[in-house]
Amino acid sequence: MSETSSSAAVDEVIARVKAVYGKWRRDTPVAQMRADWDALFSAGGDARVEPVDAAGVPCQWVAAPGVRTDRAIVYLHGGGFQVGSLASHRELMAELSAASGVRVLGVGYRLAPEHRYPAALDDTLAALGWLRSQGFAAKDIALAGDSAGGGLALSALLSLQARGEALPAAAFLMSAWTDLTAAGASYETRAAADPIHQRPMIVMMARNYLGAGAEANDPLASPLMASPAQLRALPPLLLQVGDRETVLSDSEDFARKVREAGGQAECQAWPGMIHVFQQFPGELAQARQALAGGGQFLAAHLGAAPSRKTHP
């Protein structure tokens, strides 16, 4: 794909996303926002979808044809902890299942403002505990997530670590929100380049998620605040982020801190890409390439192999 056609494809995606945001006003009910957000994205293609109750948490197994069922990728969707769902992320989960050769367990964690921190984290840990009760060893589980879900995956790893439990084999994170204080340098350096997310919006979402009883600098809310000892003990991480994002620093700074602490983390900043560009595999060649790379990373750490190409 030429640079011109690639830019045009990104512009089309941006227009679609902004059309959704543009309809929302201060008095738009959160239920309407969630419905609008779900409608923005495609369904899961030829993947098999199986609803499951994971210790009281609504989840879905999403499996591309021919994938392994003795390994699992636990997926945590984005949406600022307020929108996003298993429906909005079904295509992304299906593509990741195909790219990794492994079933994906999407977690339908509770959302704010009805359920504030730590509800989403509690649900994630409950789903992970349920998966272990089904016979999956920690080494046979990986985590993946985007945006708020990417940060939530890291929070879950830190929580398991604090409990003294075995950690999953690896984590693949897309545009991860790791700092709810929104202090990263990219809020200024990428402000003009990011067509969607600016710091006031991020701060508002953090406030709605945390409520009055939690602090934004708590490492279980903002994993970037974790200590070097905590970061060193994390499993191998792959972070992908768009170079146009105001939350670019959330990924770059986190990966740097992990490496400085002695852990394993790679951060890939994709030129010209926007927040969670991987959610548009039908429109963006870069999304397909990024998901293929993420799937290969997870497959390598789970001892699996991709079942097929995600897209021609």
Kindly report, residue by residue over 29-76, the tens digit of the pLDDT. Answer: 999 999 999 999 987 778 999 999 999 999 999 999 999 999 999 999
Q: Look at residue 8 and tell me if it is in a domain.
A: no
Asked whether residue 97 is domain-assigned, the answer is: yes
pTM above 0.85, yes or no: yes
Whether 147 sits among the annotated catalytic residues: the reply is: yes
Q: Which of 20-29, 46-55, 148-157 has the lowest mean pLDDT?
A: 20-29
271-292 per-position pLDDT tens digit: 999 999 999 999 999 999 999 9
pLDDT reported for residue 304: 77
In degrees and rounded to multiples of 5, residue 193 shows phi and psi of -90, -25
Using the predicted structure, report yes or no on whether residue 294 has a pLDDT greater than 50. yes
State the pLDDT confidence band at 306, using cuts at 50, 70 and 90: low
What is the average pLDDT value for the chain, to the nearest integer? 95
Proportion of the chain above pLDDT 70, given as a percent: 96
Judge residue 278's burial from the number of C-beta atoms within 10 Å of its C-beta, 0-12 exposed, 13-18 middle, 19 or more buried.
Answer: buried
Asked if the structure places residue 312 within a domain, the reply is no
Compute the Cα dihedral for 198, 200, 205, 207 and give only its sign: positive
**Confidence category of residue 312, pLDDT binned at 50, 70, 90:** very low
Please tell me the distance from the alpha carbon of residue 113 to that of residue 16, in angstroms, as a whole number. Answer: 25
At 211, list the tokens.
């409520």
Residue 209 located in a structural domain: yes
Q: At 293, which CATH number?
A: 3.40.50.1820
- Which of the residues 97, 100, 147, 175 is marked catalytic? 147
In a domain, 238, yes or no: yes
Residue 4 makes CB contacts below 8 A (sequence gap 6+) with none
Q: Are 100 and 306 in contact (CB under 8 A)?
A: yes
Domain presence at residue 22: no
Domain membership flag for residue 121: yes
Short-list 35, 154, 50, CA closest to 97: 50
The pLDDT assigned to 69 comes to 96
Cβ atoms 246, 197 nearer than 8 A: yes
Tally of domains within the chain: 1
Mean pLDDT to the nearest integer, 216-226: 98
What span, in angstroms and rounded, lies between the C-alpha atoms of 78 and 244? 18
Tokens 């994993």: give the residue: 223
Range of the domain at 138: 29-302
* Residue 20 domain flag: no
- The contacts of residue 253 (CB under 8 Å, 6+ apart) are 178, 179, 184, 224
Query: What is the C-alpha separation between 246 and 10, in angstroms, rounded?
Result: 16
Q: Is the pLDDT of residue 261 over 60?
A: yes
Q: By C-alpha distance, which of 299, 310, 307, 308 is closest to 71?
A: 299
